[in-house]
Amino acid sequence: MAKLVGMSKFLCIGFCLLSFSFLAQAQERDTVYLRNGQIMVGKLNKISLGTIEFDDVDLNIQNVRYHKIRTLKAATRTFRIETIDKSIYFGVIKPSNVFGEVIVDDGFVEQTYHLDQIYQLVSLEKKFIKKIKGTVSAGYSYTKNSDIGRTNFDWNLHMDEEKFQADFMGSFIFTNNQGEKSRDRENISLVGFYNFSTVLVGGIYFNYQRNIELGLASRLQQGVGFGRRILMKSNLQGMLVTGGVINQERDLAGNSSGSLYEIPLNFRLNYFHYSAPNLQFVFNPRVFFGVNQDGRLRFDGDITVNWEVINNLNLGIQTYTNYDNRALEGSNTNFDYGLVLNIGYKFK
């Protein structure tokens, strides 16, 4: 009998602990309160460009526009919160009794903001793999009459920390022309930015390029720079960056250039349109002024449009342009352009 009573106490304690565990997990959910009275429970991923990205426990990833939200609560982890008045907070979001507003709490002060005044909110994940966001995509085209197949592979990955962001990007274009394979165009970039303030950033830059059309077998770039965010709208972001770059080039004839110095001017513009269709536009022109190259001038630019057809699935189109006023040996032109279509998976 004593054993039965002891077992009953053990089961009771175990049940209570399990209940408290489930209750704690339930309390750790983020919550979005919609204007129509509905409530979404799950995980707040980010706020950017007029839209809240929320992982609902029942509906998976949802992109919700500001004007549909009454208020929200997100206190399960620390967020980096940037506002259009150029303030930066590291804290949590508390609900407000006023429609369309939230309370930002950084542990020292509580400040009320309208949702459209939050320029960007990023979750500071603890696990490294969860910090990585972005898109991986690929495409293929083939023409039977010329027996030419063309493959492209691209990725754009991003990671956020409290004061630091990193971007890892790549693009490859391969051609199979009647059994002859060619690496036509390659580009791999690793960029790190440190936020001195909401608008001022400093960064380092590493890049590899290959472009057969321009006679470029390889170009290695290392650079440092500083930039300023010049557009901070709810659906529009712009940044201008300059600094210094060192290049080492090798043309198709095997000639190496040694160290070449350039001053870059880089502008990046992001525009998001989250009401149907869900589109993202990226405009990124880059000009390089030669310092020890007798007036050399280069231009790299691309325009990208991504359409999120369904959650995590993107269709993309990209146009690129490359210009070099000094043609390299092995090439008869100093201008290249192209159009790339692909389908990709989006990490959230």
**Each residue of 309-325: pLDDT tens digit?**
877 788 989 999 999 99
How do residues 250-269 score in pLDDT, each as one tens digit?
A: 999 899 989 999 999 999 99
- Contacts (Cβ under 8 Å, ≥6 apart) of 189: 167, 168, 169, 170, 205, 206, 207, 208
Q: Where exactly does CATH 2.40.160.40 map onto the chain?
A: 130-347
Q: What value does the mean pLDDT take over residues 329-338? A: 86
On whether the 130-347 domain is CATH 2.120.10.30, my answer is no
47/49 Cα distance (integer angstroms): 7
Q: Where are the beta strands (DSSP E) in 25-144?
A: 30-34, 39-48, 51-56, 60-65, 69-83, 88-95, 101-105, 110-114, 118-123, 132-143
- pTM given for the model: 0.72
Report CA torsion sign: 216, 287, 320, 324: negative
121/110 Cα distance (integer angstroms): 16
